[in-house]
Chain A
Amino acid sequence: MATRREFIKAAAAGTGALVVPQYATAKAAGAKPPMRFIFLHRGNGLFPTALVPPSLSKADAEKEAKKDPLDLDLGKHELPGWMNPLAAHKADMTLLQGLSGKMCTTGHHTWCSSLGVFKANERLSSIKWATVDFELAKLFPSPMEHVELACFPIGGGNARPSLNGIATGFSARAAQQPNYAFGSPKIAVQELFKSVSDNKNVQVQTQLSRGVLEFAARRENRLADTVSGTERSKLQSYADSIEAVRERDRKVDGMADRIRPHVPQLDAKYLADEMTTVDRQRGHVEVLLASLISGLTNVVAFTVDELGTEYTGLPGLEGEKVNMHDVGHGKTIGGVAADEIRFRHRRQHMTLIDTIATRLKKVPEGDGTMFDNTMIFYFPDNGETHHSHGTEYPFVVLSGKNTKLNVRGRYIRLPNYGDAGHKTLGNWYTTLLNAYGNPIKHYGDPDPGLARFGIDQTGAIRIFLS
């Protein structure tokens, strides 16, 4: 097992090291490692044109321009410039175009629409079911079930009160139940790794919380013992639930030796209350990696930014507070044109993904590495542009060799909106869920607008499962 020193060293060097995760001995034990899923979503839209390889043949470029279906070997093409940080991962990449999501809330802010495939808004009642990341987390259980990190918006129509707190996230646990996300790397480390914290206050809080749970379990068990039949089962269910949380805590405690080496040892700048957006993203990536590698969770959702995020620390614009809405409206900021700012945003996001993929490729697991059992999704929360309509949700996907989807190393443009064979976000998530064990017939709301084209909107994208 790698030491904490080795892990820190790896993190600092950005090259990774021989950190041994929970399933490193999977082969010896005969256990199959779980799949991990990382959802990185961003605001302000992602132009479909930005994903087009510049090396397309004339014929393919014409098809692309007309949004006709394409399925190309990405290995034979150049990546768009902003994806250069991912050049080493080209064989694992998929550029997926043509998915529509008009059944989602689109436009400026979308809440958990793009993960839930329904029209979400600020009302809890609009949350219709668990978002897809939570559905996948159910298929690969872990002590923490799911971790959500966010560079919160503090402006716009979906603002949070603070950048650093724990606030409503962009995922949902179940109908009408929003998830909560960690706004800063500091609070995420405090909460996720409190069981192995060196901090005295955190240790005390953990001890107290455990004490209250133990007390509650005792009270409810005693109460249950005084009744019988249905009444007993009502009380016992609650007592059992408390026990289950305590069991989770015990599990996490039992993993202390495994978790401790992976507690992110972040530079002071990542633990400060004030930091640039770019540093916040980097700090969150370290938390994300540590949560996955330590086995605390198998699913992470990460709001890289949202339209209301005040962007700071962007290369070449270090001194500027970039208003994403202004960028969406084509405004030049700090002498840099909006398109160029968008380019830099995207490239910054790619460096984060590169960090994640590279590090996971260094973590041995079973016959290969942890990356083999990982899928990373990068996509816009609102679709194709700033004032989006959901006609397209472009995806950059990185997946390891053990993925059950037949998509690696390809540029795929699915049939355009309204054309035969057109697919939606719902089809895409259904594909993921079906591939990994949830037989759901269709995940997500239908798009009433597609009905007029006579397109069957239900089910998985079969060609990805072949």
Chain B
Amino acid sequence: MGNSEHQPPRSIRFCRNGLLALLSLIGCVCTAARAADSPKEFAVPKEVQSVLTAYCVDCHGAKGKGNVTLEGLGTLKLNERLDTLNRVQDQLFFKMMPPPSAEQPGEKDIRALSAWVQTELRAHKASKLDDRLPYPDAGNYVDHVTLFNGSNKDKPYSPARRWLVSPQIFEERVLDVFKLEGKEREQFRRSALAGVTNPFILPEHAGVRYYDLPVLDGGHLLVMLTNADVIATKQLQAARAKLGEAKAGSPKGPPAMKTTPAAFETILARKDTPTDAELRAAVQTQFDCVLRRKATEQELAQYLELTRNAIQVAGNAEGLRQMLKAVLLESEFVYRLEFGSGKPDEAGRVPMLPREAAFAISYALGDRGPDPQLLKASEEGRLTTKADYEREVLRLLADTSYYRGQVDPSLNGMHIQSHPATHPRLVRFFREFFGYPGATKVFKDVPRSGGYYQNPDRGHLGTPGWLVHEADEFVISHVARDQRVFENLLTSDEYFVYHNMDTKTGLALITEWKRVYETLKDTPWKTKPEEVMQEHQKLLVAAKILDPRTKELWREKRSFLSYMYWFQDTFGQGRTPFTRGPFTHGYYYEHSTSYNLPPTPTRHRYLGVETPQFKEPKDHPLYWDYPVEQPFHVAQRKGILTHPAWLVAFSSNTHSDPIRRGRWIREKLLAGVVPDVPITVDAKIPDDAPSTLRERVHSVTKAAACTKCHSRMNDLGYPLEQFDDFGRFRKLESLEHPDNLLPKPKGSTADVYKTKPIDCTGYLDGTGDPKLDGPVTDSFDLIDRLVRSERVRQSIIRHAFRYFMGRNELMSDSQTLINADQAYVKSGGSFKAVVVSLLTSDSFIYRKKVGN
């Protein structure tokens, strides 16, 4: 197993030499406690004392190993004592103490000690562990086994809450202000509204990112102030233009909206002061546009006063605009409200109001507010029971148009448009869970790739953009098929690569192109291209090689020759070319080697084909035989964890990253926990010329203090060392150190180094299944075992729960999770079944007021 850091726990007899010291320590603790605080405030119970004595004090007595001393705990100032107890709590929680080399206390002892520490800390509201619990990185802190063993019978609920909108919901809410629909809405979805800045961003980590925790703050406000000004101006723009006001546009040059609501136009058109009824109508209209509800009488009174005063100061148009801005600054515009109403049940829970439920369901399935049917159901009182929820969720899941949109418009560029999906938000769960879109944030030294890799730049996201685009299609296809979704995503070796048109269109195009090549290959096309073009114009136009509008054929010479040389390189070698020429401006499809597929010709090969100076390349490389029908089998790959997009996302600028890859598997697939990196750690991977990355990582993480955490990551990440940081499969690692440089082969752009065989063995633990845990031979073996694990399936369910609920699971959510897991199993692996189960669960339907 190579130099694996996995060390199965071994019980070594604990040396009891310190017994005497220990007894006196406990005495000290108690005496000191009495001296420092009243016994009521601080006392160590007998059973806790005995555990401390038996397992902790030998190292953490007077010696204070690791700067933690439990001696004289009671003499410490309160804040120091609490700090020590927090450290003890962390060590116990993460099962890092006692170390594996020491005698281990029993479960009962650990529970007693943990409970006491927790009680002490909570008594002072000082538990740092508790503070962390709601945050995404603490999602796995709730014990997995207990969550799924059915022992907990608590009634599930979500806390009553205000939940800040996501960046995507914000975009949709802005479009809602203008009541945009159809193509117009789609256009602004893709391009965003000029002058409006999205104040919300999600963290970049892999995993669920949209939680109910963030709070509207000053940074948001500064952006919202500008947005309110721009949006209000745009709302009035059409009517003001209609009324002949030339300078009605916003300073940021936004496109005009086609219409202004009638209530606003009425006020703009008046030469004198608007009536109260007109002002009320305008306020109600703005409430409807922005908050999608009616203003209360009290709100109407307040807004009427504001508007009247503003009109008095600046006239109708400007006064009206101030009112519009004020509504746009309401915190409700950017918060989702989920408080519930009614008489609490025996568990203190109330169901969401029908209107709240309508928004909650709609924002779970997409980014838009409820469709008219859902709103109607809520207004008519048909959104109160579990069956009501189920009916609406099933209806909306079957609706292929309401939420339809691009999965990630931020991928869009000059020549790439993000794939559409019927329910982009469902696809986004897997994008966030796997974290592969992070590939676009990792920049590479291009020469190291051999020159093919492009970093994101102006107008495009480069190679990682294409890889993410291709991974998206992989995910979309499995979500759409909705069978054994988790298993297929983790194991399928059928990928989409380059894929830019459907099979039928692609095959038709290839047939046309082949016909051109077969017809012309023996003509003098190289020496008399114009004659050949003339003679076969119809054929070439049909194959879209010549523009039918062109009258002067010499203008098409470059295009014709480029195609013919390219066909010679592909059809001529018995291969199918990609369905877009490499010389097409801006289409740099050159990343097939990321998948270890043969290369595709680059545009440079055909530069100058139309000039007399052009020299036909003498080499005849075997290019990739492009499979028009996709997805297709790609060798040496297995699922998303071996997809280049994921591998790049979990790599550094200059090398692969077994630690982060391993950590992802531990946390996302095994529902495990890895403690935060201590702030004192500043470890760097040494530059050791003759060693592989694995060896160098091992050399720096093998120390006892490091291996406590790294043993949870490294052995899961090492098998993926079969893939380099560009996502390419490898058996040898290039030892990129100046001492290992070799002479460059002729024509090579990349430095060439000595190599060393990859050690891709590892060790799987934490599945809870002895048939699966154990040494693994490589990444494929690791993935095969992971996918058979019940725990892996449940871990994904836990993450789905967080995605749809916007929070970490509580122990009281146990039944919700068990039901969702069973829904998946019984449906043959349908993700939609999981969604239905979650959105009809008590966790989703019920709200409960919780403490501060």
Contacts and interface: CB of A to CB of B under 8 A. Distances in A.
Contacts of B160: 231
Interface stretch (B308-316, B383-391, B559-567, B627-635): B308-316
B218 A244 contact: yes
Contacts of B443: 103, 119, 445, 448
Nearest to B408: A125
B251 A166 contact: yes
A162 B445 contact: no
A112 to B, nearest CB: 13
Nearest to A161: B253
Given A233-B215, A241-B216, A454-B738, A216 B329 contact: yes
B197 interface: yes
A243 to B, nearest CB: 10
A245 B225 contact: yes
Contact of B222 (A207, A230, A245): A245
Interface in A162-181: 162, 165-167, 173-178, 180
From A105, A123, A177, A242, residue with most partner B Cβ within 10 Å: A123
B108 interface: no
Contact of A121 (B219, B459, B654): B459
A33 B92 CA distance: 51
A180 B223 CA distance: 11
A446 interface: yes
Given A157-B459, A245-B225, A211 B410 contact: no
Contacts of B216: 234, 237-238, 241
B553 to A, nearest CB: 32
B603 interface: no
A234 B851 CA distance: 14
B696 to A, nearest CB: 13
A22 to B, nearest CB: 23
Contacts of B310: 208, 211-212
A126 interface: yes
Interface string B149-180: 00000000000111000000000000000000
Contacts of B197: 124, 177-178
Interface in A399-456: 445-446, 448-449, 451-454
Interface residues of B, number: 57
Contact of B253 (A162, A187, A241): A162
A229 B335 CA distance: 17
Contacts of B234: none
Contacts of A240: 218
Interface in B729-747: 736-738
Contacts of A158: 458
B751 interface: yes
A109 interface: yes
A238 B164 CA distance: 12
Interface in B306-350: 306, 309-310, 313-314, 318, 322, 325-326, 329-331, 335
Contacts, number: 143
Given A180-B226, A241-B221, A211 B322 contact: yes
Contact of B331 (A157, A173, A223): A223
Contacts of A161: 252-253
A204 interface: yes
B198 interface: yes
B410 A123 contact: yes
B527 interface: no
Interface residues of A, number: 61
Contacts of B322: 208, 211-212
Contacts of B252: 161, 165-167
Interface string B426-454: 00000000000000010111011000000
Nearest to B254: A161
A464 interface: no
Contacts of B653: 446, 448, 451
A312 to B, nearest CB: 22
Contacts of A233: 215
B631 to A, nearest CB: 28
A122 interface: yes
A121 to B, nearest CB: 5
Given A215-B306, A233-B215, A241-B221, A165 B313 contact: no
Interface string A359-397: 000000000000000000000000000000000000000
A6 interface: no
A204 B310 CA distance: 10
B457 A105 contact: yes
Given A167-B252, A445-B443, A452 B738 contact: yes
B302 interface: yes
A138 to B, nearest CB: 12
Contacts of B220: 238, 241
Interface string A98-120: 00000101011100000000010
B735 to A, nearest CB: 12
A322 B306 CA distance: 51
B455 to A, nearest CB: 6
A452 B197 CA distance: 40
Contacts of B851: 229
Contacts of A228: 852
A220 interface: yes
B291 to A, nearest CB: 12
Contacts of A173: 219, 222
B217 interface: yes
A250 interface: no
A251 interface: no
A50 interface: no
Nearest to B214: A234
Given A165-B251, A230-B850, 16 more contacts: A119-B457, A122-B458, A157-B459, A166-B251, A180-B226, A205-B318, A211-B310, A211-B322, A216-B330, A234-B216, A235-B162, A238-B217, A241-B221, A242-B221, A448-B443, A452-B448
17 contacts: A121-B459, A125-B410, A158-B458, A161-B252, A165-B251, A177-B219, A180-B226, A215-B326, A216-B329, A216-B330, A237-B216, A244-B218, A448-B445, A448-B448, A449-B445, A451-B445, A452-B445
Can you list the 5 inter-chain pairs with the closest CB atoms, starting with the nearest? A448-B653, A241-B218, A229-B852, A448-B445, A161-B253
